[in-house]
Structure 1
Amino acid sequence: MASIYRIEQHRKVPGRGGTLALLVLLGCCYGFSLFGQYQPPGQTMTRWATPSEAALETDTTSLLWLDQRGGTVIGDKLKKQPQKLTVFGYYRLFLYGRNMTEAYPNLAPYERAYGVGDGYREPMMSLNLLARPNGRSAFGTELFFFTPYIGTNTRATDNVFTVNLGLNFYGNFRTDIGKFGVRAGGIHWYNLSPFTVGVYQLLDRFSIFDRTPWEGVNNTDKYDNYFRSGTPNPGDLRWNNQAFQGLIIDGRSLPGDLGFDLFWGKTQPNGGLANAVIDPNLTIQNPGQAGNIPTYQGFAGTPRVLPNYIAGGKISKIFGTQRNQLALNTIYSHTTLDSISNDNMNYQVHTLSVNWRFGKVYVEGELGGGSFESPITERKWGESLMLRFLIPKEVSILPLDIQVYQIGKDFYNLNGAINTTSNPEIQRNFATNVIAGQVSTGGLLTQVGQLAHNRRGINLNTEAKYKDFKFNFGWGLAGEMEVLNSDISFVHRINGLALSRIYNPFPANATSATVFGPYNRQFSFFRGVAEVVKTTDIDPATAAPLTKKYYSSVDLQAKYKTQLNEKPLYVFYLGNLMAAKSKATLWPTLSPESYLYVQYHELDIYYELFPKFVLTTYLGLERTQGGRFTEWGENDLPRDQTGLGIGAGFDWTLNDATGLYFRYRHMDFEDKNFELDQYKGHEITIELKTFF
């Protein structure tokens, strides 16, 4: 992905004239993770900007270019006014191969596959172009290149050369009454608030063995950063924000310390077309042959223009020298389903958010409501409330991150940080019940800190350090507010990425998820796979669920750094326990009240064997056990799954701008009580990445 810029902005210097400092306040600036990422207002703040946005920075800020090689240099070139056209980017050759020695039924002849790319069509080469004609405007774009290298018979459609994000324009203006900005065209990466336009901010509880497409060339810096702060690399701006296309107008430093955002355009849920074929099974040619691989023809939908947009904004107020903030946020999404009947599908969210400091305690919160309506779903309002308290160790011995929340079942928003996929009245508006890219259907077994509607709950996080060890702990408990859904979903963490490369979740123009497996209960999303569990304690006449469900989760992470033969050695362990039960229990376990109990255990070891040559190893174990009120297999027993992942590889930093990365993964999965649900195989990836 494109390089990004780090902007360290200190207390504002009074004065007038010059150009306006960047107006894009990213959600990740105040949507911080656990300890170490939040910095009190008035002190140095770090935020991330795209190249075009960074080009608008004034000399009142310290602008540094932090490229994905991990190096930091003063970006003097970007401060010049005006600035000529600048071009930079990277080339990423990604070689992929798999051999499924025991595959799911009907995969033949695709058990073996070797090629360039892994099906996601991440850029093979990315060219970033930016320019600033004057001190008040800038524009930029990213050119996207991809070719599968499949020989002389390659179709033109297989080779992609396009403007990946469109042509983006930025304009910033300083006046006597305030600072104003305009963003238009292309794709912008935008956050408003967690409940309106935002994303779930994952803590550092994930394995970093598998490289992400947006990583850079950084030798051991990646592992050292993960040990120290939980962030392996800055990543790319887009992964902490929602993709937005349209017009954004904002204002800051207005009289009374007021500010505003206004926007109109499209997010990903507003990009679909009416009357498209949304069931992949309907596009299969020659069923029963060639593994039933869908062609995905017909997903383009009706070739006509129907209104499909999202609009909204916020009004904010800053208080005092500590820059505390209150904001009123609102969004409205409208989709016209039929031009003749004028049927519409709409949802809206209105909230009040707060970011406030009381002494040494920091409070973040949001309160509001949302609704959904369509021709088959009557509009109802659902409440949303979240309060989060960050208490430093000076106050509580150990630092504490405490979050309480309540989200009503009728609160719905595909653009926010809340999972809103468990209300059957809403989900029936989508034919396959699982939208493309959706992570779950029904009640999701959530990680600590991840919120879902129709739940009331609490999350707790803390951390500690002892000599060369770092520990962090998370605990969460939530209960359903109403008996709503008979489905439960969970994520296959250990080998999910490898499976999603086989059953790609984003074929061209798809509007529903790719459902696969011998029992049609697994579906893929971006770089992962989830599974749906049917519960059986239901009304025999109506199939309605009879019991509320309670969800508990525990995360435990240990990180260790030492020297072996004067070379750095890193050892990371991550354990996750999750359960869904008919009764609330503080600790997730398998018991008679359990619907589902899932364990994940992951061990990563990284060692710099030679200068700039790092050995990488991985061991992952996943155990999933179903309760008596879930589906039974051929043995008249519920799920009893074991997933194993074993990996090895190396990172070889050839120079400051180029790296070679090799990964091997053995994957093994078996459900003892569902005899068809098993697979075994190997995956190899080789990545060559160079920046210029």
Structure 2
Amino acid sequence: MRGWPVVLALALGLSVGTASAQAPAGGEALLGLDRPEEALDLASPTPFAVSDSVLDGRTLRLDLTESLDLGSASDQAPVPAVREPLALDFSSMTDALPDDTTEVLRERPQPLTVFGYYRLFLYGRNMTEPYPNLAPFERAYGVGDGYREPMLSVTVLGRPNGRSSFATELFVYTPYEGTENENNTISLNLGVNFYGNFRTEAGNFGVRAGGIHWYNLSPFTIGVYQVLDRFSIFDRTPWEGVNGSVKYDSYFETGQANPGDQRWNYQAFQGLILDGRELPGGIGFDAFFGKTQPNGGLPGAATDPTTTVPGGGTSGGVPTYLDFSGEARALPSFIGGGRLQRAFGDNLVALNSIYSYRTLDSLTAERRQYQVHTANFDANAFGVNVSGELGASLFESPAYDSKWGEALMLRAKVPAERTVFPLDVQLYQVGRHFYNENGEIATGNNPQLRANAGCEVAAGDGGVGGVITQVNQLAHNRRGVNVNTGWRGGPAQFGVGWGLAHELAPTTSELSYVHRVNGLALSRIYNPFPENATCATQFGPLGRQYSFFRGVFERVQTTDVDPVSGTALNRKFYHAVDLTGKVRGRLLDRNLYLFYLGSFGSANPSAQALPRDDDTYLFVQYHEFDLYAEITDRFMLTGYLGLENARGGRFTELSDETGLPRDQVARGIGVGFDWTLAPNTGLYVRHRWMDFEDRSFPLDTYQGREMTVELKIFI
């Protein structure tokens, strides 16, 4: 604790020195880039052409202010780039540059580029009324947020010739814990990435290999559930940049707090990716082989299945993921697949396929494997966008009788010019046997299909059973519809989403929902991925809560089940309503932002027009208010208020003390500030008060507060 002021002083000195350095003289035109390989003409099979307007004399300036495609397979998101433009010296070029500089840049090697950031994250908490068995960790103070986010990151980009390039990232993790501590680590964050591009008369071809790449194929194969402006941005993500009020303007306009952030759009992939575009007939292809996160060892993290988190998951020290290395690498686990597509102008049709397997025993041929095959399209006509995907999957394991499962989704987006309000309508059906760990569909409803047969809840899972979802969040064993619309008036924007779905078959007797208001703070207390863990971290006096990456969910047991087998007797209907409200105004000639997020969800025995808390299995509602006030050009005050309520129905577990189902209330109050010390340096402070109680289950209560201080410097 006594060393923190010294650390802050040194870091602040570094930031001032870095910020004072003047960028080399050059042209004012900048390139807006999302990833470093774009700067070096790396990843895309159709690389951009740099016009002569960005060249001024002997200097090419590249604005790398967006997120970089660099990260860890388990939890590292793309790292935002430096706020100052990088200057690459082309003094060896001739003074007279050709009008078209595309070939010049492609053929000439570029110098080695080195940049990075320093991120000091100080964390402290005081749980005044903790859950049982947390002692002696009611109070905890640490350097680092417990995730695999480096304190010092140095990225090296190089291009040895006009057709290939490489990138790697070195990181230093928690150097303030002493020379003998195992967490004092200097290592590669990504491995070494290689990129190549080859333009031929037959088409454009690209290759990516090694390291970690951010990659998508299609929503049902390799994809991520996409949602904008439906999550609070009060708590910063570790991969955010130094952006001041730009963050809040962007969130108001587009719903993106960190434009270019690849974590929310792509899956982490390690291996080999080949792609081709602009082939004869408009044909394109992708082919890949390697590992996604599920192939990296999250399921079955320990070779000894009896080893789990000490104390039933109630350990509470400041967590670290460094020792969570997954199962032995001697057991093969890979994924492969590809895509064949054809473009018709702005329209696209594609066939997609993936095959994933994990060897269960080194002495036998037993495998847990699944395959997914789909066709998808994207069409535009008269301003209307229509997209869809149709496919099937087959899950196979020694303990499961293999069956094919179907998945179908059709979505239309109609602009306001065609209707009174813009409309986004989605229809879908996903069978109970459809399974894929890498797509955007939640596939935890069928208890026969499990990522880890030895665990009721596998490490990393964000829910089990019938999940209370947001609008447009898909889950298998459901048929449903989602509708979104929005409008804008003066300084305000509003959005409404509505969803209704029903189970195709009563496969599960469990429900689950996310604790949104204080979930991030709880996940810092109860490590989602502790050393030698086999299953998800389970905690709380009743053992109903589970920790995952930056969140917590709760498991609910229903009681209308077969008395002999314990299986569910009735299908459930799922309802969702999401509300958003955003206001951007001026107060004393300074920017003022107010954001509201409301979400309602329920599981009922019959279909209803709206989520409701009577005649229900489970009803959950969330209300979150964010306030951001600009005090000076570089200083902003931040505020947060969150309210959460979850109520169980008569067909859920009852309290022995009160004889009533759960009735939970959670509150979160936060204050803080963003201080932009220099164009490349920011200081961010957040202080949160949190409390939770279940009025029906007296033991289920906690209260406390946490404080975080983040200093981020791009160098």
Asked if the contact 1:296/1:510 (under 8 Å) is kept, the reply is no
Write the mapping of 1:359-508 to structure 2, written as runs, cut at 5 A: 359-427=382-450, 429-508=452-531
Q: What is the CA distance between 1:335 and its match in structure 2?
A: 1.2
**Whole-Å Cα distance in 1 between the matches of residues 64 and 320 of structure 2?**
43
Equivalences, count: 642
Q: How does 1:272-291 map to 2 (within 5 A)?
A: 272=297, 277=302, 282-283=307-308
- Counterpart for residue 619 of structure 1: 641
Say whether residues 1:631 and 2:653 are aligned partners.
Answer: yes
How far apart are the structure 2 equivalents of 1:307 and 1:417? 25
1:192 aligns with 2:217: yes
Tell me the secondary structure at the aligned position of residue 512 of structure 2.
strand
* CA 69–305 in structure 1, closer or farther in 2 if over 3 Å, else same: closer
The equivalent of 2:347 in structure 1 is 324
Q: CA deviation at 1:545?
A: 0.5
| Conserved 8 A contact 2:314-2:539 | no
Letter matched to residue 595 of structure 1: Y
Task: Decide whether aligned partners of structure 1 residues 605 and 494 sit closer, same or farther in structure 2, where only a CA change above 3 A counts.
Answer: same
Aligned to 1:601: 623
- The offset of 1:359, in angstroms, is 1.8
Question: Does 1:97 pair with 2:120?
Answer: no
- C-alpha contact (below 8 Å) 1:278/1:512 kept by paired residues: no
2:517/2:667 contact within 8 Å kept: yes
Shift of 1:48: 6.5
* Larger deviation, residues 506-515 vs 408-417: 506-515
Deviations 1:26-54 (A, max 9, x none): xxxxxxxxxxxxxxxxxxxx997531343
1:610 maps to which residue?
A: 632
Give the corresponding residue for 1:137: 164
Q: Label 1:516 to 1:155 Cα distance change in 2 as closer, same or farther (>3 A).
A: farther
Equivalence for 1:522: 545
The answer to whether the 8 Å contact 1:219/1:653 transfers is yes
Select which of 31, 56, 71 maps to 2:41. 56
User: 1:174/1:517 Cα in 2 relative to 1: closer, same or farther (>3 Å)?
Assistant: same
> 2 CA distance for matches of 1:261 and 1:129?
27
| Offset at residue 305 of structure 1 (A) | 1.7
Give identity over the alignment, percent. Answer: 57
Q: Which one is further off, 504-513 or 483-492? A: 504-513
1:125 corresponding residue in structure 2: 152
- Structure 1 residue 690: deviation in Å? 0.7
What amino acid does structure 1 have at the position aligned with 2:678?
Answer: N
Is 1:335 matched with 2:347?
no
Instruction: Give the drift of 1:472.
Output: 0.8
Cα deviation for residue 566 of structure 1 reads: 0.4
1:225 paired to 2:250: yes
Equivalent residue number for residue 135 of structure 2: 108
Choose which of 673, 678, 699 in structure 2 pairs with 1:655.
678
1:578 to 601, 605, 627: 601
State how far apart, in whole Å, the 1-side matches of 2:446 and 2:379 are.
33
Q: Which residue of 2 aligns with 1:258?
A: 283
Separation in 2, partners of 1:679, 1:596: 22
Distance 1:233 1:77 in 2: 29
**d(CA) in 1 for partners of 2:118 and 2:472?**
36
Look up the equivalent residue of 1:572 and give its one-letter code: F
1:35 corresponding residue in structure 2 = none
TM normalised by structure 2 equals: 0.86
Cα contact 1:434–1:441 (8 A) shared by 2:
yes
Aligned to 1:8: none
Say whether the 8 Å CA contact 1:96–1:115 is kept in structure 2.
yes
1:188 Cα offset (Å): 1.0
Distance 2:130 2:463 in 1: 24
Is 1:66 paired with 2:51?
Answer: no
Contact (CA 8 Å) 1:285, 1:295: kept in 2 or not? no
**Structure 2: how far apart are the matches of 1:296 and 1:54?**
32
Cα distance in 2, alignment partners of residues 288 and 591 from structure 1: 34
Give 2:240's aligned residue. Answer: 215
Q: Deviations over 1:653-674 (max 9, x none)?
A: 1010001111000000000111
1:124 partner amino acid: M
CA distance in 1 between partners of 2:216 and 2:587 (Å): 43
User: What is the CA distance between 1:586 and its match in structure 2?
Assistant: 1.6
- The CA deviation string for residues 60-94 of structure 1, in whole angstroms up to 9 with x for no partner, is 25775334479585987695731111011110000
Which residue of structure 2 aligns with residue 554 of structure 1? 577
Cα distance, 1:204 vs structure 2: 1.2
Q: Which amino acid aligns with 1:262?
A: A
* Structure 1 residue matching 2:402: 3-state secondary structure: strand
- Counterpart CA distance in 1 for 2:87 and 2:241 is 19
CA distance in 2, matches of 1:83, 1:690: 26
SS in 1 for 2:176: coil
- For the aligned residues, what is the CA RMSD? 2.5
| Aligned counterpart, 2:13 | none
Long gaps (5+) in structure 1: 1-45
- Equivalent-residue separation in structure 2 for 1:443 and 1:496 (angstroms): 19
Q: What amino acid maps onto 1:316 in structure 2?
A: Q
> For 1:160 and 1:652, how far apart are their aligned partners in 2?
29
| Aligned counterpart, 2:690 | 667
Counterpart residue identity of residue 456, structure 2:
N
Question: Which residue of the partner structure matches residue 22 of structure 1?
Answer: none
**TM-score normalized with structure 1 length:** 0.88
Letter in 2 for 1:142: E
